[in-house]
């Protein structure tokens, strides 16, 4: 039987959905992971036929393990990954082994934010930017304030910092230099406007837009997306601009096969790119699209890899909203209450709680610190959002400090 080897997986989200999709497509599945806990919770992964512990940061070890699986008789059709950390290595290794692969060079261009900005420099949807070199003692600022300061390798809002003053700019640059001593720093103009995300699949050089999702962004210490809204119809001007933008991104980066998503803001009647990532969005995005439009984007991405034209035509016509929850204090999780009440709210389709008992929770400094979500659907966007937020208001994370028990901290449903 044909097999797929997956590099890395989260305990939930699109990377998990992709392995489940592979099973539905008739593949046996092998997961190479560096998370020891997964092997101890093997029953949590019934869709994984073979799980192997390996250092995913060591390309030689990964390749050795894949070749070992092949020598044992596993009929490996491809090496794939739906996680940011391993998508490039999966594509590189699959190409080296003569198997279907996502365009390696395009992944590399998208993952380095400075290289990506250079690729998009002349594009109408790009934003003004500058590069602060690693070893320049006094950073100069040539852009108008406010600005956004980034590490070129940041993901999930980590190391993405807002600066409204010269002193904030200098402080953020110093902080990133301390963390990444030999790395340059990317500085971009801050663009106001409604934020969106577009999911796309590239098949034989042709771009297929799977979803345009409006985002609700909460600005605290980081830019954290706490709400996603999908609707059955998109204004034609926005849809046309997005189609032109993603097609141009595909051409400029050289993407021929694979999936990518672009975050952008609709500003001044046009798109302005925030970032591009060479994979499906993580967390609940695949589930959200399936609830809204009736197709599984992870499955369509795998089908495309093996030559089938992706079918991303909507089957449903409902408005769907996902509301994410964070905490406003740090502590160890004692318990979560309100799940049943949340599920009973009319229109709610899914309630997911990520952390386990005794996990240490913190306020969000990255997208990975969102600890639960609720997905709801309705006939209108307003109704879907109201249902999701009502359900989310019932969910409470009860925390204790590291030394003494105290009143539980309540999960804060952040609003834009």
pLDDT confidence of 408, banded at 50, 70, 90?
very low
Q: Is the pLDDT score of 411 beyond 50?
A: no
pLDDT (mean) for 284-306: 96
Q: What is the DSSP letter of 404?
A: S
* pLDDT, tens digit (0-9, with 9 covering 90-100), for 308-354: 999 999 998 889 999 999 999 999 999 999 999 999 999 999 999 99
For 182-219, the three-class secondary structure string (H helix, E strand, C coil) is CCCEEEEECCCCEEEEEEEEEECCEEEEEEEEEEEEEE
Quick one: how far is CA 213 from the chain centroid? 13
| All residues at 6 or more sequence positions from 311 whose CB lies less than 8 Å from its CB, including other chains | 295, 300
Q: How far apart are CA 313 and CA 295, in angstroms?
A: 8
Strand ranges, E, within 314-381: 319-327, 331-337, 348-353, 360-361, 372-378
The CATH class of 321-412 is alpha beta
Among the listed residues 269, 275, 259, 227, the one whose alpha carbon sits nearest the alpha carbon of residue 414 = 227
Domain over 2-101 is classified CATH 3.40.630.30? no
Q: How far apart are CA 170 and CA 367, in angstroms?
A: 25
For 243-301, the three-class secondary structure string (H helix, E strand, C coil) is HHHHHHHHHHHCCCCEEEEEEEEEECCEEEEEEEECCCCCCCHHHHHHHHHCCCHHHHH
Q: Is the pLDDT score of 100 beyond 90?
A: yes
Are 194-305 and 321-412 the same fold in CATH?
yes
Among the listed residues 278, 277, 274, 260, the one whose alpha carbon sits nearest the alpha carbon of residue 129 = 274
Choose the weakest-confidence range: 32-46, 112-126, 134-148, 241-255. 134-148
Q: Is the pLDDT score of 257 beyond 90?
A: yes
**Residue owning tokens 């969102």:** 370
Q: Count CA atoms closer than 13 A to 5's CA, side-chain side.
A: 32
Which backbone phi and psi does 295 adopt, to 5 degrees?
Answer: -125, 155
Element (H, E) at 384: helix 381-394
- Note the pLDDT of residue 220: 66
pLDDT confidence of 402, banded at 50, 70, 90?
low
Q: How far apart are CA 311 and CA 296, in angstroms?
A: 9
Coil vs helix vs strand at 26: coil
pLDDT confidence of 401, banded at 50, 70, 90?
confident
Domain over 194-305 is classified CATH 3.10.580.10? no
Separate counts of helices (H) and strands (E) for the chain: 12, 20
Mean of per-residue pLDDT scores for the chain: 92
219 token code pair: 């600005």
Q: How far apart are CA 27 and CA 1, in angstroms?
A: 7
* Residue 344 near residue 400, CB atoms below 8 Å: no
Q: Is the pLDDT score of 190 beyond 90?
A: yes
CATH for 128-189 is: 3.30.1490.20
Q: How far apart are CA 15 and CA 28, in angstroms?
A: 16
Dihedral angle over CA of 8, 10, 12, 18, nearest 10: -20
pLDDT (mean) for 271-297: 95
Domain definitions of the chain by residue range: 2-101, 128-189, 194-305, 321-412
Cβ atoms within 10 Å of 52's Cβ, excluding its own = 15
Q: How far apart are CA 142 and CA 189, in angstroms?
A: 10
Kindly report the pTM of this predicted structure: 0.91
């Amino acid at each position: 039987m044909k097999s797929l080897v997956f590099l890395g997986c989260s305990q939930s989200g699109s990377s998990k959905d992709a392995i489940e999709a592979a099973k539905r497509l008739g593949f046996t599945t092998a997961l190479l992971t560096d998370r020891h806990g997964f092997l101890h919770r093997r029953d949590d992964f019934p869709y994984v036929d073979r799980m192997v512990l390996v250092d995913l940061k060591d390309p030689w070890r990964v390749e050795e393990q894949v070749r070992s699986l092949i020598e044992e008789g596993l009929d490996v059709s491809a090496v794939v990954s739906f996680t940011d950390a391993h998508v490039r290595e999966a594509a590189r290794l699959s190409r080296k082994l003569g198997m279907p692969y996502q365009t390696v060079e395009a992944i590399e261009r998208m993952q380095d934010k400075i290289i990506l900005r250079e690729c998009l420099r002349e594009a109408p949807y790009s934003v003004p930017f500058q590069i602060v070199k690693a070893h320049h003692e006094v950073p100069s600022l040539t852009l108008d304030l406010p600005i956004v300061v980034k590490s070129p390798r940041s993901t999930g809002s980590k190391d993405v910092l807002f600066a409204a003053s010269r002193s904030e700019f200098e402080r953020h640059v110093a902080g990133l230099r301390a963390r990444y001593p030999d790395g340059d720093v990317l500085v971009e103009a801050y663009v106001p406007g409604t934020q969106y995300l577009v999911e796309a699949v590239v098949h034989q050089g042709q771009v297929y837009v799977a979803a345009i999702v409006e985002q609700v962004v909460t600005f605290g210490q980081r830019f954290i997306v706490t709400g996603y809204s999908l609707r059955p119809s998109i204004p034609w001007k926005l849809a046309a601009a997005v189609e032109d933008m993603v097609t141009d991104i595909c051409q400029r980066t050289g993407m021929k096969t694979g999936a990518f998503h672009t975050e952008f803001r609709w500003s001044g009647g046009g798109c302005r790119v925030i970032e591009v990532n060479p994979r499906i969005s993580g967390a609940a995005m695949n589930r959200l699209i399936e609830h809204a439009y009736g197709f599984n984007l992870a499955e369509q991405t795998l089908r495309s890899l093996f030559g089938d034209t992706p079918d991303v035509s909507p089957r449903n016509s409902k408005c769907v909203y996902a509301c994410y929850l964070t905490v406003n204090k740090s502590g160890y999780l004692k318990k979560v209450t309100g799940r049943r009440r949340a599920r009973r709210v009319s229109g709610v389709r899914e309630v997911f709680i990520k952390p386990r008992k005794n996990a240490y929770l913190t306020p969000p400094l990255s997208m990975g610190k969102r600890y639960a979500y609720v997905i709801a659907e309705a006939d209108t966007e307003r109704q879907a959002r109201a249902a999701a937020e009502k359900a989310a208001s019932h969910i409470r994370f009860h925390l204790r400090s590291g030394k003494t028990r105290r009143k539980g901290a309540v999960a804060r449903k952040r609003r834009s």
